[in-house]
């Protein structure tokens, strides 16, 4: 979702696939827990906790800020003001959205290994293999048109919603309106409310454009929609009718989801010409001359030679491109370091997190290996 992703409980997969410890040319191996997995009956579904996504009735139409906002929409976008008023009277206040959007309290140190075990597991890998097999033509077409490899598209959709199994049960209009006018106290509360007001406008514009009832749209607690969890503004700007049905349906059309994710990445800096891995495993020298290269924003800024001079090396020779130095903390265990190119940082525009982008890369790679294991040719690591 092109905003902060909620780590959700995983729903259960369909048929399992036998993983035979495959290795790719860059030495990436599936974790031992995912290798040589015996075929087994699908486990029973776990109960999903109830969420009060319906919310409570609040007469948003009586709120001064809401009335002014609707007046602006009617003037700016040509909506009928009376119809907007009738619509807003059906919107509910969702306290669950307010609670879920609050920052998590300080807790344990960041731990990439723990995070990756949660996000790259046999359920997602098996589901990813099926998704790739079922949508091979659309994935190949998106890769050809936008230059984004199929495994990256598969990785994003798998991390976001386990291929459409967990797209959210909140009414989008309820969640977004609540956050647009009742965002919890926070240092950037006003800016966040302005963001959600923009998303509310985009929701109404999309519903009008596609001829759908805006109250019928379901999504996450923050209003993200469909298999790829697009916020409404991203849906309006990047979503495509990739299956040629005449409308955009990110909830039910895998093709539309695939094409839309590819279009989003292409629009956020993905470079077809770079090819190859988006990250390379790195080692760093004890003198820590490289330390100033960390946390330099979500962009590739350094040439290979600069990184090498600072004491950063890779087992697999990295092409002469721009890179960022990425640190993946592992709690009390040693931190992992990676060189990440421009395409890795394009993924971070989907979710501004190194952990997120690396989980997309690893899941996509694991699914590819599970589909068609490649022979080992190196013990070096690159992805």
Helix (H, G, I), strand (E, B) or coil at 219: strand
Q: Please give the pLDDT value at position 54.
A: 64
Q: Under CATH, which architecture does the 272-352 domain have? A: Orthogonal Bundle (1.10)
Q: Please give the pLDDT value at position 324.
A: 97
For the chain, the domains span 56-103+168-245, 272-352
pLDDT at 361 over 90: yes
Q: What angle do CA 351, 357, 362 make, to 5 degrees?
A: 145
Same fold, 56-103+168-245 and 272-352: no
CA distance 221 to 350: 17
pLDDT at 7 over 70: no
* pLDDT class of 21 with cuts at 50, 70, 90: very low
Cα-to-chain-centroid distance, residue 235: 14
Higher pLDDT, 9 or 218: 218
For residues 32-55, average pLDDT? 47
Does the model's pTM come out above 0.75?
A: yes
Choices 1.10.8.350, 3.50.50.60, 3.40.50.150, 3.30.590.20: CATH for 56-103+168-245: 1.10.8.350
Strand 218-219 and strand 279-284: pairing? unpaired
**25-34, 52-61, 109-118, 235-244: range with lowest mean pLDDT:** 25-34
CA distance 61 to 68: 10
Looking at every residue in the chain, the average pLDDT score rounds to: 87
Q: Please give the pLDDT value at position 213.
A: 96
pLDDT at 9 over 80: no
Cα-to-chain-centroid distance, residue 342: 17
For residues 274-297, average pLDDT? 94
Per annotation, catalytic residue among 143, 151, 160, 362: 160
Query: C-alpha distances in angstroms, 170 versus 12, 41, 137, 178, 224?
Result: 21, 31, 32, 12, 10
Predicted confidence (pLDDT) per residue in 106-148, tens digit: 777 899 999 999 999 999 999 999 999 999 999 999 999 999 9
Verify whether residue 160 is a known catalytic residue. yes
For residues 185-209, average pLDDT? 96
């Amino acid at each position: 979702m092109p905003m902060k992703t909620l780590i959700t409980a995983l729903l259960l997969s369909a048929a399992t696939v036998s993983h035979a410890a495959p290795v790719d040319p860059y030495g990436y191996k599936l974790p031992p827990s995912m290798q040589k997995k015996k075929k087994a009956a699908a486990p029973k579904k776990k109960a999903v906790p109830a969420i009060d996504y319906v919310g409570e009735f609040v007469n948003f139409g009586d709120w001064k800020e809401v009335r002014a906002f609707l007046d602006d929409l009617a003037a700016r976008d040509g909506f009928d003001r009376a119809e907007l008023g009738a619509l807003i009277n059906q919107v509910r206040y969702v306290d669950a959205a307010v609670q879920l959007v609050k920052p998590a309290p300080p807790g344990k140190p960041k731990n990439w290994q723990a995070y990756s075990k949660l996000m790259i597991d046999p359920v997602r890998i098996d589901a990813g293999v099926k998704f790739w097999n079922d949508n091979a033509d659309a994935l190949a077409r998106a890769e050809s048109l936008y230059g984004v490899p199929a495994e990256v598209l598969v990785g994003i959709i798998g991390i976001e919603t386990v291929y459409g199994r967990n797209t959210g049960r909140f009414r989008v209009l309820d969640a977004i309106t609540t956050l647009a006018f009742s965002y919890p106290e926070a240092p950037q509360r006003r800016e966040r409310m302005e963001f959600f007001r923009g998303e509310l406008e985009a929701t109404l514009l999309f519903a009008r454009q596609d001829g759908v009832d805006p109250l019928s749209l379901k999504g996450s607690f923050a209003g993200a929609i469909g298999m790829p969890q697009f916020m409404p503004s991203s849906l309006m700007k990047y979503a495509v009718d990739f299956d040629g049905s005449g409308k955009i349906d990110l909830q039910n059309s895998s093709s539309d989801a695939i094409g839309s994710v590819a279009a989003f990445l292409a629009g956020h800096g993905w470079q077809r010409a770079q090819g190859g891995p988006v990250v390379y495993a790195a080692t760093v020298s004890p003198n820590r001359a490289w330390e100033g290269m960390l946390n330099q924003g979500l962009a590739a800024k350094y040439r290979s030679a600069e990184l090498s001079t600072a004491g950063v090396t890779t087992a697999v020779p990295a092409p002469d491109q721009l890179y960022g130095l990425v640190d993946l903390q592992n709690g009390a265990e040693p931190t992992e370091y990676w060189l990440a190119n421009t395409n890795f940082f394009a993924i971070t525009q989907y979710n501004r997190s190194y952990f997120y982008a690396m989980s997309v890369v690893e899941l996509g790679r694991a699914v590819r290996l599970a589909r068609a294991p490649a022979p080992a040719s190196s013990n070096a690591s690159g992805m």
